[in-house]
Copies of this chain bind each other. A is one copy, B any other.
């Protein structure tokens, strides 16, 4: 997890302001493990302080992302998901058949990066989206 203690200064050094509502979002984030949906974060903030406005949370997440403190990706349904940075970047797999979810293994990631880089030098950001498909067991179980 990032040094949440340093966040206020990080903001100020950029000419941004450290406000009560931003602290709320960062607090919620600091307590979050793994991934959180933007909507979930809004919810958590509202639990702490019912006056929280969704738009503020969304905007705060945007600036946190600009500052590199969080990263967002998209789940299977395209909805936003946030990862607290700088946890090791990792992508996600989702099996449309059984609904299972896994993280993308390093070897896989390497292979993918190469596949893209070698053809036209495209540098993939695997962490940005959920890769959908069929897991081995579902593929095996499928009637042929």
Q: Report yes or no: B119 in contact with A105, Cβ–Cβ below 8 A.
A: yes
Tell me the minimal C-beta distance from A58 to chain B in angstroms: 13
Q: Do most interface residues of chain A lie in helix, strand or loop, or is the interface mixed? A: mixed
A57 at the A/B interface (Cβ < 8 Å)?
no
Q: Which of B108, B110, B122, B136 contacts A134 (CB 8 A)?
A: B122
A62 at the A/B interface (Cβ < 8 Å)?
no
How big is chain A's contact interface, by range?
35 or more
Number of copies: 2
A99 at the A/B interface (Cβ < 8 Å)?
no
Q: Which of A9-17, A46-54, A73-81 contacts B (4 or more CB under 8 A)?
A: A73-81
Q: Report yes or no: B129 in contact with A131, Cβ–Cβ below 8 A.
A: yes
Q: In A99-144, which residues have CB < 8 Å from any B CB? A: 102, 105, 107-112, 114-116, 118-125, 128-136, 139
How many angstroms between the C-alpha atoms of A124 and B131 in the bound complex?
7
State the A residues within 8 Å of B (CB).
74, 78-80, 93, 95-96, 102, 105, 107-112, 114-116, 118-125, 128-136, 139
